[in-house]
Structure 1
Amino acid sequence: MTDNQRPPRRSVLYVPASNARALAKARSLPCDAIVFDLEDAVAPAMKDAARRNLTEAFAAGAFAGQEAVIRVNGLDTPDFASDLEVAARCGPDAVLLPKVNRGADMERLRAAYGAHTWTRACGLWAMIETADAIHHIDEILRAGGTAGPALDCLVIGTNDIAKETGVFPGDQRQYLLPWLMSVVLAARRHGVAILDGVWNDFADQAGFAREVEQSVKMAFDGKTLIHPSQVEPANLAFAPSPAAVEDARQIVGAFAAPEHAGAGVINLNGRMVERLHLEQATRLLALHDAIQARGASRAA
């Protein structure tokens, strides 16, 4: 899937599938995607109840204007098979696999996917949350791009990376940045979307705003969230500004003029603009249009 076809994923909210009230409330939130969590946010004793809640939530109807993603438990856990069976019945937009370490994990997920009859075809997402995953990121992305349901999105798990490595996650994540940027670069090489990890202290809105600004500058496509109060700030931060949209329209319009049909570079209001800027402007306008369409679908 190209950048111009990919849906906006500015705000991706984790919702514990064990919390029926949270599942119901999620429908009314303006987040771009919901990750219905059967893994970390669900206690072992609540796994069966969470799967039942999820089945009922999807049976109640589609999630208008939101991507619906189910995070299953890991491949080697006793809950994985039951989670994937429930996901097949629910028919989400994607299945998110945690603790992906190697390309072989994506191949195992695809094989397990193919063993089920799905209500509707869905994509595959992968959590990158271990040192092994970072080290083998290209292998994971290559495996995810083979035949069958495609790997469409990477999700960074900063909490788990910090826990496993012992690297201090504070100070604007300066000690994690080289690893995070290496995964962003790999995602861009393979044409896969990538989402930043969560901000834990949802009461610290200023800290969240700083980290979201950092995420945007690092070229993440969006941010995973743990609280509804984080949705609107993320949506605003990852959306093109009105000034950027207007500039992009001017660039596209200028290159569309007959006198610039064969031009590789043009003078636009006193600045030199190349066709690479036209490509950037086209992507920005596609994102803007997708955001507007999502808003319209939610209002309908």
Structure 2
Amino acid sequence: MILVPNWQALLFVPVGAERHLASAIRLRPDAIVLDLEDAIAPAAKPEARARLRSAQQLIHAAGIYCVIRINCQLREVVDDLAAAELGHMAALMLPKVEDLRGLQNVAELTGGKIGLIALKETPAALQALPAIAVFPQLVAMMLGSEDYAALLGVSPDGGALSYLAAQIGVAAATRGLLGIGFPGSLANFQALDLYASQIAQGRQLGLRAVAAFHPAQLPVIRSALAPTHAEITWANKVLQA
């Protein structure tokens, strides 16, 4: 049985970036996302695949959940999965999910035993949210802020992402999936006050986890997603009752 993860903080690490991986393991996010897609140039992907299993083994030995962001094209998907150790993987992240085809291909290639995270990065993905949310192997949906805003021709910090973030929150809650992301740029690791406020907004829209690109973002994620004083007080009253 595939379980929905109870994560708050995920951290992307390019496959092969050994210093970044060591730092990520030391900081202990809930999950490390080994990136074979945007972080790896096309010519470097074969070498990255060759180093994938050793990175997975280090994460597994540290007792941290491992996620792999694979590529879009089916031929690359096959190569990515052939290079991976499925037994040391908590989930697969699929980019630019607009329909069920990519999810079906990956579910078939993995025997339906690995949880899938659907990245929503295009305006076309909005129309398919209800159908995608009920896919059996799906465990989470994530807002891909940068690509979505780029396709709209707007800034990710300008407010245009709030609607999609809310729709992902609703679709995820409908089936008890994990909603990941927030309406803003994932790259705001120098404007941490803005970053924290955007995560708080995402929380109010039903998104319960955030994937970061920089270690400085991790404490902000944990603080922004921590239970409020009012929530803790209410929970204690329930326990007493």
TM-score (norm 1): 0.73
- Deviation of the 1:53 alpha carbon: 2.2
Give the ranges of 4+ consecutive aligned residues of structure 1 lying more than 3 Å apart after TM superposition: 5-8
CA distance in 2, matches of 1:90, 1:21: 24
Larger of the two Rg values belongs to structure: 1
Counterpart check, 1:176 vs 2:161: yes
Aligned partner letter, 2:170? L
Contact 2:15 2:55 in 1 (8 A): no
CA distance in 2, matches of 1:68, 1:7: 12
- Aligned twin of 2:130: 138
Contact 1:184 1:220 in 2 (8 A): yes
Q: Residue 101 of structure 2: SS of its match in structure 1?
A: helix
Contact 2:53 2:83 in 1 (8 A): yes
Cα offsets for 1:32-63 (capped at 9, x unmatched): 11111000011112212212222112234625
- Aligned twin of 1:294: none
Q: Percent identity?
A: 30
Q: Name which of structure 1's ranges 227-236 and 162-171 shifts more when overlaid on structure 2.
A: 162-171
CA distance in 2, matches of 1:252, 1:216: 24
Contact 1:69 1:95 in 2 (8 A): yes
CA distance in 2, matches of 1:203, 1:127: 24
CA distance in 2, matches of 1:57, 1:169: 31
Contact 2:56 2:85 in 1 (8 A): no
Contact 1:32 1:65 in 2 (8 A): no
In structure 2, relative to structure 1, the CA distance for the partners of 1:72 and 1:107 (3 Å cut) is same
CA distance in 2, matches of 1:54, 1:80: 14
Contact 1:103 1:141 in 2 (8 A): no
- Aligned twin of 2:201: 214
Q: Residue 198 of structure 2: SS of its match in structure 1?
A: helix
- Aligned twin of 2:105: 108
- Aligned twin of 1:25: 23
Contact 2:149 2:155 in 1 (8 A): yes
Aligned partner letter, 1:130? T
Cα offsets for 1:41-98 (capped at 9, x unmatched): 111122122122221122346254532100111134x422110112245631111111
CA distance in 1, matches of 2:131, 2:51: 35
Equivalences for 1:9-158 in 2 at 5 Å?
A: 9-60=7-58, 62-76=60-74, 78-89=75-86, 91-114=88-111, 121-142=113-134, 144-145=135-136, 150-158=137-145
- Deviation of the 1:138 alpha carbon: 0.9
Counterpart check, 1:238 vs 2:238: no
Contact 1:18 1:47 in 2 (8 A): no
Contact 1:71 1:95 in 2 (8 A): yes
TM-score (norm 2): 0.89
Q: Name which of structure 1's ranges 102-111 and 55-64 shifts more when overlaid on structure 2.
A: 55-64
- Deviation of the 1:166 alpha carbon: 2.0
Contact 2:25 2:59 in 1 (8 A): no
RMSD across aligned C-alpha pairs, in angstroms?
2.3
Cα offsets for 1:5-33 (capped at 9, x unmatched): 75432111111113122122221113111
Contact 2:149 2:160 in 1 (8 A): no
Q: Which runs of 5+ in 1 are unaligned?
A: 116-120, 255-300
